[in-house]
Amino acid sequence: MSSQPQFHFDDYVVRPMNEGDRAYLDSLIEEDAYHKGRMTPDFFLNLVPGEDAWALEDTQGNVELYFKTQVAVRLSIQFAHSKTSEERSRNRTALLKGFAWIEAMFRKNRFREIIFDTQGPELTAFAKRRLGFRESPVELLRTLAPLVPPGRHTEHWQALPQPTRREG
């Protein structure tokens, strides 16, 4: 992580975390009623692709807080037709097969989590039972406005989907 840049704003510096933060972070966790026994410094220091961990310091180098980021994606689905049992069956099959491909693409692009929006009770049950989703009552969500105006999309994928080649 040493190749990551430092950021400066107002009277703060944001720098990548490192092993030198372990002892202080451990003491903070031990004093925190919400984190004691639930996490260790490894949560911030043993990262996988798609995760980064940072320390926010004042100008004297005192750590004010630590934070970890994980790249997440929000997934919404609109099925073509689902009135008949045959259409619903085709949708389930397409979702099972399509989701495997979608998940692989998300992983290749360092996404660490999928947030799935649905209001449908049948789809919710299916996603939990067959796709491995779980409900999470402990999250707060905030949508960020895009940096580019709608219609002026910039590519963000590192691994682009490839079209399927059909033999015939």
User: Of 31, 19, 14, which is closest to residue 67 (Cα–Cα)?
Assistant: 14
- Yes or no: say if 72 and 114 are a contact pair by the CB < 8 Å rule: yes
Burial class (CB in 10 A: 0-12, 13-18, 19+), 121: exposed
Query: 151 in the Ramachandran plot: left (φ > 0), alpha (ψ -120 to 50) or beta?
Result: left
Which of 1-15, 63-77, 135-149 is predicted least confidently? 135-149
Mean pLDDT of the chain: 86
pLDDT at 75 over 60: yes
pLDDT tens per residue, range 50-67: 899 999 999 999 999 999
How far apart, in whole angstroms, are the C-alpha atoms of residue 43 and residue 25? 10
Residues 100 and 77: their CA atoms lie apart, in Å, by: 15
**Global model pTM greater than 0.75:** no
Closest of 62, 53, 49, 61 to residue 16, by C-alpha: 53
Does pLDDT of 1 surpass 50? no
What are the structure tokens assigned to 51, written together?
């995760």
